[in-house]
Chains A and B, each alone.
Chain A
Amino acid sequence: MSINTLVLIFILTLIPVDSFSETKVVTTLPELKWIAQELKVPQLETISLLSGSEDPHFVDASPSFVLKIKNADLIIVNGLQLEMGWVPSAIEKAGNSKIQFQAKGYCDASEYVEKAQVTPNYNRSMGDIHPQGNPHYTLSLTQMSLAAKKIAECLSSVAPTYQELIQKNLSKLQNDFSQKLKAQKEKLSFLSETALMTYHLEFVYYLKDYSGESKGTIEKIPGVLPSSSHLFKISKLAKEKNVKLVLASITHPRKYLEKFRSMTKIPFIQMPMHLTSEYKSYWDYQDALAAEIIKNVKD
């Protein structure tokens, strides 16, 4: 193969053959895709990069993600550095100028979220901390309503023709969030007086919706597997605080949760932290999560 052949191949690859009539929106998380769909913008193609069963902190920048975003008009990310290990490199590789960081097509859904656990003085000895705030807000109905506001702004920006429609659908969606929160509060009001623990820090915003809080985490340091001595200490604390349940993600190591249960007799539940295909909608997912908590605390 000669250098001339290589140059010819390169020139041929530069000929653009892509054309899309629809507005293509790619989200990192399926619940963000669900919001985009609920805003009901005509001619909107929505794709979620993740299926909801992954731990979005630690996904690899798969070439399939690059393929999905190479022609996207808008990328919607959870933000607060949740996807910092893979979204920047996928965007870089895709070479799509529309969705570069701070371009019109880059949408950080966390902009209006009321950030919890902001840690400005951060260093790596603190483990997997997100200095800009805890990124796990999509479990919270309150915060998802605020994320919807940002997503609506982003959609209006890339599909300005439908701005009024988007605003109208946002109002309806935010009303639905309020109604759902009201209904969930009736079911989960006991959480404000029930001692719970979590494996990691995913439930901070969720518990806040119901005036509850975690009494501690099974992890000593975020992202680090718990040592035996820490399990012993946290078990003692759980008994002292009369903890009823441990909340965890399906991606957390089950053996440590089982060990904790054998030490304390406190049950745990492992749920997907994001909207997976087993749920019809985000409302359905919220119902399932609430039902699982109720079953394990009240039974």
Chain B
Amino acid sequence: MKINDLSERQLGYILIAPALIFIFGIAIFPVFRTIWISLHNIDLRIIHLGTPFVGLDNYIAIFQEARFWNALKNTLFFSFTSVSLEMFLGFGAALLVNRKFKGRSIVRASVLIPWAIPTVISGLIWRLLYNDQIGVINDIFLRLGFISESVSWIGNSSTAMWSVIVADVWKTTPFVTLLILAGLQTIPKELYESAKIDGANKWQEFINITLPLLKSSILVALLFRILAAFKVFGLIDVLTSGGPSNSTESLSLYAHRLLFRNLNFGEGSVVSVMTFLGVLLISFIFVKIFNVDLSRK
């Protein structure tokens, strides 16, 4: 049968097949495989001893590990704090920039720079800024009198997590600004004009027009940001490697350490599965409770 003899439906299935092969082979199947590994004792250092089925033993071991709960706590704290800040600042900036002014294109272009820089490289940049000897942040704060001596921002467990959050906010707020700005520009100007005629003030306009009309784009942006933050790996790996004393270790980082430093694939996969379930739960909450319709076009 030649390709030109195909009916519409046959062609449809043939065209979509390669994408489905990738998705099933490289994403769906491996997730089940991760679950399978998490139920076996697979230690690459002693692989010759076999890979016996151990049921939920790995799960029990991980749940008794304080480091796991610490990583979960760090991940939740990081996600909640950085995404809140990003949404708040991004929304504010979008509202301010949503007008015509000179130099608008420069602002818009500069907004894309942190987005385009690889996360790891922004981690390297911030590590230099935070440095306790040659870091410019210490320099500025000393000159302004905020601090009396240099602070080791990322070498100190009380400031390390906040340092990571600030770096993430720097990298991602512009992106949020961009998404919300795009949403703002879809709101018809006439709505504001007629509100003005009805005597509404700026605040009422914001509450009654801007927020309701932006609701779905805000929720979608929020979901994407929370999921990305929940998976955080590269930024932390480069900035602090999860330290000092695991105070910035995220779930992804902890899983990666177990897998590729300890070569304990069984227990590492448990943490991978938990991260996956976390993402699933967050998406479920958004789709079911907030009614985010992601397939809307």
A and B bound? no
Q: Give me the interface of B with A, judged by CB distance under 8 Å.
A: none
